[in-house]
Amino acid sequence: MQTKPTYSYSQLNTFHDCPYAWSRLYLDHVPRSGNFFAEYGTIIHSVLEEFAKGELQRDALRDVFEWRFDTEIVETPPYNKYVELGPKYRQQGLDFFENFEGFDGLEIIGVEQHFKLDFDSYFLQGFIDLVYRDRDGKLICRDWKSGS
């Protein structure tokens, strides 16, 4: 019995950007090397996840981000002739958490909520960063994009 393949957004995005890279990662299983941007995104997501779960208070977010950025990022950002990316991303994260308004008045339904959709010939799966009801009762799925 043949099983249907399962894809994620990142797999499809990798294939869209570079089919050869997709083949190397998902067919040949070549390990990925470290990546500054992935480490940065992981820190942003983990701080927001812990806050949404009630594990961090709003006034601690900036400090927790700053400590994790300074201690958990081990990869060097790539060279950019216009700006040093490390300090730029550090400040961008500090600014984000300084101005983050939180989730007051929102009903949190799920954090890092797994989904798997069954299509005719494949599954699509992933994790939704945050699922909540807004003040008008609308169900919202939120995906954090730490690069913007």
- Tens digit of pLDDT for each residue in 41-51? 999 999 999 99
Q: If you ran DSSP here, which 8-state letter would residue 51 be given?
A: H
Question: What does the alpha-carbon distance between residue 90 and residue 96 come to, in Å, rounded to a whole number?
Answer: 10
Q: What is the pLDDT along the chain (148 residues), one digit of tens a residue?
A: 668 999 998 899 999 999 999 999 999 999 888 899 999 999 999 999 999 999 999 999 999 999 999 999 999 999 999 999 999 999 999 999 999 988 888 899 999 999 999 999 999 999 999 999 988 999 999 888 765 5
- Report the interhelical angle of 36-52 vs 61-72 (nearest 10°): 150
Question: What does the pLDDT look like over 56-69, one tens digit per residue?
Answer: 999 999 999 999 99
pLDDT the model gives residue 82? 96
pLDDT the model gives residue 2? 61
Give, in order, the Cα–Cα distances in Å from 28 to each of 17, 23, 92.
17, 6, 36
Residues linked to residue 31 through DSSP beta bridges, in sequence order: none
Strand 123-133 relative to strand 6-8: parallel, antiparallel, unpaired?
Answer: parallel
pLDDT the model gives residue 119? 93
- Report the interhelical angle of 61-72 vs 85-99 (nearest 10°): 160
Q: What's this model's pTM, rounded to 2 decimal places?
A: 0.81
